[in-house]
Amino acid sequence: MGEPAWRGRQLAEAIYHQHFTEISKITTLSKSLRQKLAAEGWQVGRPEIVQTFQSADGTERSLVQGGDGLTVETVWMPEGDDGETGDEDDMDNPESLGTPSSRLPSGAKAGLHAPQPASIHSQGPRPEGRHQRATLCVSSQVGCAINCAFCLTARLGFQRDLSAGEIAGQVVALLDRHDVEVGRDRVNLVFMGMGEPFLNYDNFMAAVRLLVREVGLSAQRMTVSTSGIVPGIERFAQELAEFRPRLAISLNAPNDALRDELMPINRKWPIAAVVDAVRRVQLRPHERITFEYVLLGGVNDRVEDASQIARLLRKTGLPVKVNLITWNPGPGIDYSLPQPEAVEAFRQTLVNAEIPAYVRKSRGRDIYAACGQLKRTVDITPKQLPPCVCRSR
**Residues of the shown chain interacting with ligand SAH in the complex, contacts defined by CB under 6 A:** 146, 150-151, 192, 196, 225-227, 250, 252, 292, 294, 325, 327-328, 330, 371-372, 389, 391
CB 134 within 8 A of CB 187: yes
Distance, in Å, from the CA atom of 70 to the CA atom of 78, rounded to the nearest integer, reads: 26
Contacts of 173 (CB under 8 A, 6+ apart): 46, 47, 48, 49, 62, 64, 74, 111, 112
Q: Whose Cβ is closer to ligand SAH: residue 74's or residue 225's?
A: 225
Q: Which of 137, 144, 151, 371 is catalytic?
A: 371
By the 10 Å C-beta count (0-12 exposed, 13-18 middle, 19+ buried), 368 is classed as buried
Q: Which of 48, 60, 73, 166 is catalytic?
A: 73
390: annotated active-site residue: no
Residue nearest to ligand SAH (CB): 372
CB of 245 to ligand SAH, least distance (A): 12
Q: Whose Cβ is closer to ligand SAH: residue 60's or residue 196's?
A: 196
Q: Whose Cβ is closer to ligand SAH: residue 81's or residue 292's?
A: 292
Q: Whose Cβ is closer to ligand SAH: residue 19's or residue 375's?
A: 375
CB of 193 to ligand SAH, least distance (A): 7
For residue 180, what are the CA distances in angstroms to 117, 166, 267, 371?
18, 19, 42, 24
CB of 200 to ligand SAH, least distance (A): 10
For residue 282, what are the CA distances in angstroms to 60, 103, 146, 198, 247?
35, 32, 27, 18, 11
Angle, vertex CA 129, rays to CA 123 and CA 132, nearest 5: 40
- Mapped onto helix, strand or coil, the DSSP state of residue 83 is coil
Distance, in Å, from the CA atom of 348 to the CA atom of 356, rounded to the nearest integer, reads: 9
CB of 306 to ligand SAH, least distance (A): 17
The amino acid at 157 = G
Q: Whose Cβ is closer to ligand SAH: residue 44's or residue 322's?
A: 322
Plot region of 345 (φ>0 → left; ψ -120 to 50 → alpha; else → beta): alpha
CB 54 within 8 A of CB 145: no
73: annotated active-site residue: yes
CB of 154 to ligand SAH, least distance (A): 8
Q: Whose Cβ is closer to ligand SAH: residue 170's or residue 225's?
A: 225
CB 199 within 8 A of CB 144: no
Residues facing 190 on adjacent strands:
137, 223
CB of 277 to ligand SAH, least distance (A): 14
Active-site positions read 73, 371
